[in-house]
């Protein structure tokens, strides 16, 4: 009885605090995620007031949070749209991986860590935060912009790449060697392809089995199906989050639309729990020693991610302002970066400072990312773009005159 009452007090007090922090963040125009991370650091291991009784509750809630974030992203696409995006955005996805994973891997080696830590840190710096970016685009009113499909295509490529990366890195961390990693990768590829085929051919049947007219039944059905498939995916050594994403892809039409509306509050609740939990299991005393390395890594990879979005948008003919909006929007890292770091910490076979470095790195990018995304809207930035365009026209004019 004592444990359950303590659990209720701790969970209730922390959720109330998160509500206050969320409202504060919206007043100042920032994402609430950094504040959620800070709250977790304050009340976690080595914090001001450690919450021992509720840690297991937040661990389960954090898993559900990742699953809901990814199923909501999947609901934005149909299976046919996903396949079309993959074909057109494959070059951008390749550039994204090279530009953003290699700096993280190289940085780990420069710190004197082994190749396993380099593999993990490369994944942490590679993947942008779909949840944070989707929220920033909605807050800035850019969901209908021409560059937004480019941003979403890059995010989808990354999420699908995680379906291959996460089983591989899990096998490596478990020490199963190349054979175990190869088997895990083969299972992951087969599972993803199977789900995509089912989604394309039979997705309409899955959607028709869930009635959009009954909100209660729809909520329970979609949530149950998502958790079931996510759990089975995890059993098959495929990320539970990727399984949830593929469930979202399989649903379409009115079912997907109404499910998005019904699941949004749950997603926000459990996503907050997810970020808090990462803070809870990270000792804030470990952060000062890695602050400067994390800041250096963030500066380098924020620049490479901006370049990724800029080149991807230029490739499809987006104008200069849209290219910068695409690049700067992709800066934040979040849920997958923390998932990867969490896998490494749970395995216990990598550099102990990795968790603190990842937490600090994510904190820096999610704080600065939404701020940088607003830069193209500032008058001075628009004037700078106009001056660049005018200079380019002046440079091209003599060439054109010489041709005549």
**Domain-wise residue ranges, the chain:** 31-391
pLDDT computed for residue 301 by the predictor? 96
Rounded Cα gap, residues 159 and 232, in angstroms: 18
Most trustworthy range by pLDDT among 104-108, 116-120, 158-162, 248-252: 104-108
Summarised one tens digit per residue, pLDDT across range 161-185 is 877 787 778 778 777 666 666 776 7
Is residue 267 within 8 A of residue 72, CB to CB? The reply is yes
Angle between helices 55-74 and 240-250 (to 10 degrees): 40
Instruction: Produce one character per residue of 73-88: b if its CB has 16 or more CB atoms within 10 Å, e if not.
Output: bbbbbbbebbeebeee
Is residue 85 within 8 A of residue 153, CB to CB? The reply is yes
Is residue 184 within 8 A of residue 170, CB to CB? The reply is yes
pLDDT computed for residue 29 by the predictor? 67
Rounded Cα gap, residues 66 and 130, in angstroms: 11
Summarised one tens digit per residue, pLDDT across range 286-309 is 788 889 999 999 999 999 999 999
The token pair that represents 285 in the structure block: 């005393």
pTM of the model: 0.76
By C-alpha distance, which of 372, 344, 305, 257 is closest to 102? Answer: 305
The single residue listed with the structure tokens 């994973």 is: 101
Summarised one tens digit per residue, pLDDT across range 128-140 is 987 778 778 877 8
Q: How far is CA 273 from CA 56, 196, 270, in A?
A: 12, 30, 5
CATH number assigned to the domain covering 31-391:
1.20.1530.20
Most trustworthy range by pLDDT among 133-147, 172-186, 229-243, 373-387: 373-387
Tally Cβ neighbours within 10 Å of residue 213: 8
């Amino acid at each position: 009885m004592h444990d359950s009452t303590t659990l209720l007090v701790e969970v209730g007090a922390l959720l109330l605090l998160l509500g206050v922090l969320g409202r504060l963040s919206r007043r100042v125009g920032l994402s609430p995620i950094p504040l959620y991370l800070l709250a977790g650091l304050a009340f976690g291991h080595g914090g001001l007031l450690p919450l021992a009784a509720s840690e297991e509750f937040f661990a389960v809630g954090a898993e559900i949070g990742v699953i809901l974030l990814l199923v909501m992203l999947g609901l934005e696409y149909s299976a046919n749209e996903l396949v079309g995006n993959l074909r057109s955005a494959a070059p951008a996805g390749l550039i994204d991986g090279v530009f953003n994973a290699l700096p993280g891997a190289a940085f780990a080696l420069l710190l004197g860590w082994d190749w396993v830590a380099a593999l993990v840190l490369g994944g942490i710096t590679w993947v942008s935060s779909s949840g944070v970016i989707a929220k920033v685009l909605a807050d800035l009113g850019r969901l209908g912009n021409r560059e937004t499909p480019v941003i979403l295509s890059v995010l989808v490529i990354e999420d699908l790449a995680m379906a291959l990366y996460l089983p591989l890195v899990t096998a490596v961390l478990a020490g199963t060697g190349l054979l175990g990693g190869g088997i895990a990768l083969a299972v992951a590829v087969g599972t993803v392809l199977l789900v995509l085929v089912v989604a394309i051919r039979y997705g309409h049947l899955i959607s028709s089995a869930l009635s959009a007219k009954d909100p209660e039944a729809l909520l329970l059905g979609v949530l149950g199906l998502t958790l079931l498939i996510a759990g089975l995916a995890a059993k098959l050594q495929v990320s539970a989050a990727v399984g949830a994403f593929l469930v979202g892809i399989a649903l379409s039409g009115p079912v997907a639309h109404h499910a998005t509306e019904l699941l949004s509050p749950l997603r926000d609740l459990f996503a907050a729990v997810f970020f808090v939990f990462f803070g809870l299991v990270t000792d804030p005393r470990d952060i000062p020693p890695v602050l400067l390395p994390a800041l250096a890594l963030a500066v380098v990879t924020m620049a490479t991610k901006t370049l990724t979005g800029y080149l991807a948008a230029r490739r499809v003919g987006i104008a200069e302002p849209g290219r910068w909006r695409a690049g700067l929007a992709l800066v934040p890292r979040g849920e997958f970066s923390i998932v990867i770091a969490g896998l490494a910490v749970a395995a216990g076979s990598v550099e102990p400072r990795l968790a603190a470095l990842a937490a600090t790195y994510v904190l820096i990018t999610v704080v600065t990312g939404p701020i940088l995304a607003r830069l193209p809207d500032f008058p001075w930035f628009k004037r700078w773009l106009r001056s660049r365009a005018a200079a380019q026209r002046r440079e091209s004019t003599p060439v054109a005159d010489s041709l005549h």
